[in-house]
Chains A and B, each alone.
Chain A
């Protein structure tokens, strides 16, 4: 099983550019989330989804868009990158109750210059 596949692993963007971080899981998990990790701040929730067609905002949604057209895929879009979005991004998935914890992707280190 591939688990959670997150691409790319590294990315450098110029301020104002847009991009999409890809996330796919093959475990038939209903629940998928995007987090950003910054030093001293732990993991902060950006957006999450409890099923296809359903998304909701987390703690830090501004500047990010998501959609969930299939159970497997949950892409994160940066519409106009800003230096404040320099971070490590993680996608994670779990079943709807979450009792077994998340399976995480390998992360994307994004630098906005």
Chain B
């Protein structure tokens, strides 16, 4: 089974600053998909960004971008210009036949 590790259980950032959430994974596969999901207090799971492993270019969605290092099996999420609405739990996920999730990072944006 694949494993996904998020080593930062909790993080905080000042409003308008930049924060990076870490994610590493373990796999012997060469083609797979990676995702970051956001879970605000409403409990709804929201897809933030996705990356296809065969693409070297890092994915970007507005203020959210990733640093995908395939050889290092690392997939970090950078949030720029942090906003209060970014306060949430963030989950990293790996997909190859089955989805595997990390244990999450609780991010608090401080006004």
Residues on A lying within 8 angstroms of B by beta carbon are 33, 35, 40-45, 48, 58-59, 88, 90, 92, 98-102, 104, 106-107
A99 to B44, CA, bound (A): 20
The answer to whether A99 touches B52, judged by C-beta atoms less than 8 angstroms apart, is: yes
B106 shortest CB reach to chain A, Å: 10
Chain B facing A: main interface SS: strand
A32 to B99, CA, bound (A): 11
Q: Looking across the interface, which residue of chain B has its beta carbon closest to that of A96?
A: B97
Question: Of B44, B52, B102, which contacts A42 at CB under 8 A?
Answer: B102
Count B interface residues, CB 8 Å.
22
Residues on B lying within 8 angstroms of A by beta carbon are 1, 6, 9, 33, 35, 37, 43-45, 47, 50, 52, 91, 93, 95, 98-104
The answer to whether A40 touches B47, judged by C-beta atoms less than 8 angstroms apart, is: no
Please name the 8 residue pairs, one residue from A and one from B, whose CB atoms are nearest each other, closest first.
A104-B45, A42-B103, A43-B101, A98-B95, A101-B47, A42-B101, A101-B35, A107-B43
Q: What would 20 more interface pairs be, CB under 8 Å, given A99-B95, A107-B44?
A: A35-B101, A42-B6, A42-B101, A42-B102, A42-B104, A43-B91, A48-B98, A58-B98, A92-B45, A98-B33, A99-B33, A100-B50, A101-B33, A101-B37, A101-B50, A102-B37, A102-B93, A102-B99, A104-B44, A107-B45
